[in-house]
């Protein structure tokens, strides 16, 4: 497969004297993910199957201005199938043979109040997208998707020294 990542930050004085925007992310293209139970067994390719999308990626956009920062995070999981290789099943045996691609969006804000003290607020799964397949799937194996918990909010404070 291919894995790529990037990270770029640029100053934005037109948005505030000390402001900057950062853009970072990663992308993975999975060509093959195969296993073989034994030397005489045929190879099984799981690329594009449940839990192993052929395409996945994360994009982060961060704005900071002095002690204040905002973050938007986009988590992309590509289309997957729920069909077992080499297993013949009658038509319609599985309710969800294909799960469409999904993007989860998360937002956050941080303020450094004094040296070592900060407050923050986050919204995870802003659009409350559910999981792209019924969980647990494949006899109880649960693959993590951010949608498992639905939309949730987190507010807190931190001290570091």
Interval 78-90: pLDDT, tens: 887 776 656 666 6
Distance between CA atoms of residues 131 and 99, nearest Å? 9
Contact by Cβ (8 Å): 93, 84: no
pTM of the model: 0.79
Contact by Cβ (8 Å): 96, 89: no
Dihedral of alpha carbons 86, 92, 94, 98, sign: positive
Q: Model confidence over 46-92: pLDDT tens digits?
A: 666 666 788 999 999 999 999 999 999 999 988 877 766 566 666 66
């Amino acid at each position: 497969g291919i894995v790529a990542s990037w990270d770029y930050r640029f100053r934005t004085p037109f948005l505030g004297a000390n402001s900057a925007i950062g853009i970072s992310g990663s992308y993975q293209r999975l060509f093959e993910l195969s296993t073989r139970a034994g030397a005489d067994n045929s190879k099984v390719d799981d690329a594009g199957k449940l839990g192993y999308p052929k395409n996945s990626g994360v994009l982060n956009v961060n704005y900071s201005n002095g002690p204040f920062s905002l973050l938007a995070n986009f988590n992309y999981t590509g289309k997957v199938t729920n069909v077992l290789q080499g297993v013949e099943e009658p038509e319609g045996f599985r309710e969800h043979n294909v799960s469409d691609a999904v993007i989860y969006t998360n937002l956050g804000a941080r303020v450094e109040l004094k040296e070592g003290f900060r407050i923050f607020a986050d919204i995870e799964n802003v659009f409350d997208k559910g999981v792209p397949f019924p969980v647990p799937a494949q006899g109880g194996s649960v693959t993590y998707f951010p949608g498992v918990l639905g939309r949730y909010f987190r507010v807190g404070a931190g001290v570091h020294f």
